[in-house]
Structure 1
Amino acid sequence: MKITGVELRTVEMPLVSPFRTSFGTETVRQALLVRVVTGEAEGWGECGAGTAPQYSSEYTHAAADVLTRFLVPALAGVRHAHQVAPALATFKGHRMAKAALETAVLDAGLRADGVSFGQALGAVKERVPCGVSVGITESIPALLDVVGEYLDAGYLRIKLKIEPGWDIEPVRAVRERFGDILLQVDANTAYRRGDARHLAGLDPFGLLLIEQPLEEDDLIGHAELARRITTPICLDESIVSARAAADAIALGACQVVNIKPGRVGGYLEARRIHDVCAANGVPVWCGGMLETGLGRAANLALAALPGFLLPGDTSASDRYYRTDITPPFRLEDGHLAVPDGPGLGVSPIPDLLEEVTVSGTWLPVQPDRQDNLGSS
């Protein structure tokens, strides 16, 4: 498979409702899409970076820049998705940009071979259970209304965003109103080691987990916190590779892991993290980054692996968008179907894609020296 070029396309898609976390409020999802073109097929990838470096150091414009200047030119000579990470290894960081590029190469190769993403990753399920992430609302009554709507829609698990000043009482209110639902919270690094006693106040509510309470580089702090609270700790931002997952588990810093493929550099590394966690008896689940249908399709394939034991943030398309750029994913009995077509199993609908596109760049991939010598 010879890569002839890469298209970078930035789209802007209004969200159904503002999504507020401790990082800020988003009303529009600006996404960087990557299209890889080969002689046999084309493939798509989606960069999970946001418009500002808040969740991580990456953001969409920086991702486009590093792809243009460094990562795409490094594809010369790459013939398979497994070669992408080694080819890009000389460039530090930028895991989300790398993930988008690797995903597009993988998608192109699988489409050419007639193999689905799920087959390639090792999926064992045809559909996956779905949860939904609920942002911080202006009041507890408003929160209860939102949670009630999602439960009525069929979601099997509720995740509440929390931060200092918005934690114990919202959780108490949701538990009292809705009883023994699957409930977890996500702190997005909003707390510090000194907050352990306060966070122990969440223990009586029987939460599935508390996600990333402390800073991403504070594994020792998470291990100490795990000894002081009974709510299981799940790591998100801290887990950037299979090695990081192994270290966190060895330190006792987590009992659950959230796998976001963009955060870890792609779906191949995500599968390795899954394998490390499974070998250590640590359940995993698939996080979300407000993906379009392209990223959602790939996440569903990943979430169908055997170690994904908890419902993920693989919500239906209408959770975020009135109109997606692919055929919409619809919730049925609290589950979404895993696409079974070649590659991602979905493609952008051209007219819808054009409507939301704000910029695009075509980058030819120059042949490497072996190509010039006539080697295949």
Structure 2
Amino acid sequence: MIIQEVFIRKLEMMMKQPFSTSFGTMQNRKFILIEVIDDLGNRGWGEGVAFSIPWYTEETTETSMHILVDFLIPLLKGQTIEHPDDVSKIFSSIRKNNMAKAAIECAVWDCWAKRRGITLTQALGGEKESIDVGISIGLQQDFDVLAERIDQSLTTGYKRIKVKIKPGNDLSLLSQIRERFPTIPLMADANSAYTLKDIDLLKRLDQFDLMMIEQPLAADDIVDHATLQKKIRTPICLDESILSAEDARKAIQLGSCGVINVKIGRVGGLTEAKRIHDVCQKAGVPVWCGGMLEAGIGRAHNIALTTLPNFTLPGDTAGSSSYWQRDIITPEVFVTDGTIMVPQSVGIGYEVDLKELDRHTIERKQIRL
């Protein structure tokens, strides 16, 4: 397969409601979409998940655009791609910028699957016909609003509730949740808001019988997390710390976590996400698929990834209607009783709604290779 043309779009979509974490609040979501066309005319789609502000990682929508246009896409010129795994090798001379890499690598995976007339799930080696999903709920100013969101999510059937915590909004918040919802599958995401100085407070989270606490300490740490995990009963889930299969191997060896969250954009694409899955499966460490407030194309890739067998915990791939008035794919991603049926059409399994896409496009580029 030879990629002959790449289209880049920058989109701007308004989320139904603001989403708040320990590092900021977002409602106006800007992101990048990549469309690749191969030498047989097959088209593949990928979504860039970097934010406009470098909250989660150092990448932004603008830096992703720069890296894609000036470095990554030119590296594909004249390259024969036998398998999508080749893309990570082609990009190996460019350090990090994983979200930019993942945007185009995922598009190549989609195109490659369509070229062969198979689903992305089959291309990845996935096994499931449906996946269990949870939902991530941002920080709320009022507990009653949060409780209502949890109630709605449980009514929809989501298999796990994730809430955000931060210093000053943790013990009391979780206590109120447990008083109202004593038995729900519950986890807390700290987004690196704590240090080992908070170890006594973090020990107190054990009383809430959480499924896990996600990334309590620094975004680049696996050493202090190992110290913390020895002191608390609640499993630690690493997110920002894991950028590669090697990171996963080292974290598991150190005892830094009991669970790992895999985000396609964070780790540079589906190839590395699969490698992390395999490392964790071999070590007996469960994984789940995290979310980055994706639109439909990103959600489609998350669904396909989650069909791999060691994704045994519900992920963050909620239905389209949880975040968007109208998504950019047809059909939209629907959740029924906490599950999503895996699409059976070739590639990502969803059609891109070009009219809706155009409505949200604020910038576009066409690059011929």
TM-score, scaled relative to structure 1: 0.96
What does residue 258 of structure 2 align with? 255
CA distance in 1, matches of 2:175, 2:197: 22
CA distance in 2, matches of 1:245, 1:225: 17
Other structure's SS at 1:227 match: helix
What does residue 151 of structure 2 align with? 148
Write the letter of the residue equivalent to 2:50.
A
State whether residues 36 and 42 of structure 1, in contact with CA within 8 Å, keep that contact through their aligned partners in structure 2: yes
Runs of 4+ in 1 over 2 A off after TM superposition: 77-80
- Per-residue deviation, residues 334-368 of structure 1 (Å, max 9, x unmatched): 10111221111113111111001111001111xxx
Write the letter of the residue equivalent to 2:231.
R
C-alpha root-mean-square deviation of aligned residues, in Å? Answer: 0.9
Q: How far apart are 1:39 and its partner, in Å?
A: 2.1
Q: How far apart are 1:122 and its partner, in Å?
A: 1.6
What does residue 243 of structure 2 align with? 240
TM-score, scaled relative to structure 2: 0.97
- Per-residue deviation, residues 203-250 of structure 1 (Å, max 9, x unmatched): 011100000000122211000000111110000000000000000000
Q: Is the counterpart of residue 355 in structure 1 residue 354 in structure 2?
A: no
What does residue 49 of structure 1 align with? 50
State whether residues 144 and 173 of structure 1, in contact with CA within 8 Å, keep that contact through their aligned partners in structure 2: no
Other structure's SS at 1:359 match: strand
In structure 2, runs of 5+ residues without a counterpart are none
1:309-320 aligned within 5 A: 309-320=312-323
1:255-334 aligned within 5 A: 255-327=258-330, 328-334=332-338
CA distance in 2, matches of 1:84, 1:276: 20
Which of 213, 228, 233 aligns to 1:230? It is 233
In structure 1, runs of 5+ residues without a counterpart are 366-376
Q: How far apart are 1:78 and its partner, in Å?
A: 2.5
What does residue 26 of structure 1 align with? 26
CA distance in 1, matches of 2:221, 2:360: 39
Write the letter of the residue equivalent to 1:349.
D
Aligned positions, number:
365
Write the letter of the residue equivalent to 2:20.
R
Other structure's SS at 1:31 match: strand
Other structure's SS at 1:46 match: strand
Write the letter of the residue equivalent to 1:329.
V
CA distance in 2, matches of 1:137, 1:191: 19
**More deviation, 34-43/253-262:** 34-43
Other structure's SS at 2:260 match: strand
Which of 89, 93, 96 aligns to 1:93? It is 96
What does residue 4 of structure 2 align with? 4
- Per-residue deviation, residues 276-335 of structure 1 (Å, max 9, x unmatched): 000000000000011111111110111111101110001000111010000211111110
State whether residues 33 and 47 of structure 2, in contact with CA within 8 Å, keep that contact through their aligned partners in structure 1: yes
CA distance in 1, matches of 2:272, 2:211: 25
What does residue 72 of structure 2 align with? 71
CA distance in 2, matches of 1:249, 1:200: 21
Q: How far apart are 1:79 and its partner, in Å?
A: 2.6
Q: Is the counterpart of residue 204 in structure 1 residue 183 in structure 2?
A: no
**More deviation, 115-124/258-267:** 115-124
Other structure's SS at 1:96 match: helix
State whether residues 15 and 29 of structure 1, in contact with CA within 8 Å, keep that contact through their aligned partners in structure 2: yes
Percent identical: 44
- Per-residue deviation, residues 43-86 of structure 1 (Å, max 9, x unmatched): 00001101111100001011001100010000023332222111
State whether residues 47 and 262 of structure 1, in contact with CA within 8 Å, keep that contact through their aligned partners in structure 2: yes
State whether residues 294 and 347 of structure 1, in contact with CA within 8 Å, keep that contact through their aligned partners in structure 2: no
Write the letter of the residue equivalent to 2:6.
V
CA distance in 1, matches of 2:197, 2:75: 45
